Amino acid sequence: MKGIDIILCQIPSNATWIIRKIMEAMRYVSTITSTHGSLGDRLEEMVHNGKFSIKCMYTTLRPQYPKVRWKSLLSHLEIHPQHKFCLWLALHQRLPTVDKLQSFGLDVPKACILCAAPVETLTHLLFDCPITNSLWSRMLKWAGEHRPIGYSQVEVAHAVKWAKKSSGNGGILSSLFAMVVTVIWRGRNLMRFQRGQF
C-alpha cells in the first residue's frame, strides 16, 4: 500500500475492522467533498462552539433513515423475543405469505388457508380474514377496547398508542398485539403445511 493513494486503493480483506472503517470513512468524506463542496466547508459543519465535535461529525456522516412510528411497540421489554421477532417481520412486510412466495417464483396455492379468499396477503391474513378478524375482536373485547377492527395501519397505530402508555396496561396490550400476530402466523403455517386446525 506504500506510494498508493489510500482513497483509490482497494481495502485489503485481511485488514482489521477499524482500518476498514477508517478507509471507508475516508472514501465517504472524499465523495462528499466532490458532491457537497470543499472539505473545509464540511468540517465547519462539524464544529460546535468553536471546537471540533465528534458528535457533530457522527451525526453528519451517519446515514439518515426515516423514523418508524412503531419503534415504541418493539422496544417493550414485556414482549417475548419470539413474538417480537415475528412482529418485526410483519411490520417490515417480510413474512412469507402466498403473494410473496409467488413473487419469488414458487408455485403455491393462492387461496387463504383460513377463509378460502382468492389471494393470501399479509394484510388479509392478519386483519381482513374473517377468522383472524374474529380473533382480534375477541382479544380487543377482553382488553376493554370496544371498536371494530380496522385495516393494518390503523391497528398498528392503536398498538403504538398502547405501547406508549406508561401504565402496566401498555405492556400487557403491546404483548397481546405481538402474541396475536404470532399466533395467527403459526396457526396459518400449521394449517398450510401440517394440515392442522386453527
Number of Cβ atoms within 10 Å of the Cβ of 125: 27
Per-residue pLDDT at 26 exceeds 80: no
Highest mean pLDDT among 10-14, 21-25, 32-36, 171-175: 171-175
Number of Cβ atoms within 10 Å of the Cβ of 95: 20
Per-residue pLDDT at 150 exceeds 70: yes
User: What cell was used for 46?
Assistant: 462539524
- pLDDT tens per residue, range 51-98: 878 888 788 777 777 888 888 888 888 899 999 999 999 999 999 999
Per-residue pLDDT at 6 exceeds 70: no
Distance, in Å, from the CA atom of 57 to the CA atom of 39, rounded to the nearest integer, reads 13
- pLDDT tens per residue, range 153-162: 888 888 888 8
Task: List own/partner pairs for 127-133 with CB under 8 A and 24 or more apart.
Answer: 127/151, 127/152, 127/155, 131/198, 132/184
pTM of the model: 0.68
The structural domains of the chain, with segments of one domain joined by +, span 17-61, 71-194
Distance, in Å, from the CA atom of 72 to the CA atom of 87, rounded to the nearest integer, reads 13
Residue with grid cell 473545509, as numbered in its chain? 40
Q: Which bin fits 118, alpha (ψ -120 to 50), beta or left (φ > 0)?
A: alpha
Per-residue pLDDT at 35 exceeds 70: no
Per-residue pLDDT at 3 exceeds 80: no
> For helices 81-91 and 168-194, what crossing angle results, to 10°?
80
Region 114-134 average pLDDT:
91
pLDDT for the residue numbered 24: 81
pLDDT for the residue numbered 58: 82
Region 48-53 average pLDDT:
80
Region 106-125 average pLDDT:
90
Per-residue pLDDT at 10 exceeds 80: no
Distance, in Å, from the CA atom of 1 to the CA atom of 12, rounded to the nearest integer, reads 9
Per-residue DSSP letter, 125 = I
Number of Cβ atoms within 10 Å of the Cβ of 74: 17
* CA neighbor of 171 nearest in space, from 61, 49, 50, 77: 77
pLDDT for the residue numbered 50: 79
Per-residue DSSP letter, 50 = T
Per-residue pLDDT at 4 exceeds 80: no
User: What cell was used for 7?
Assistant: 482513497
> For helices 130-143 and 168-194, what crossing angle results, to 10°?
160
Region 130-146 average pLDDT:
89
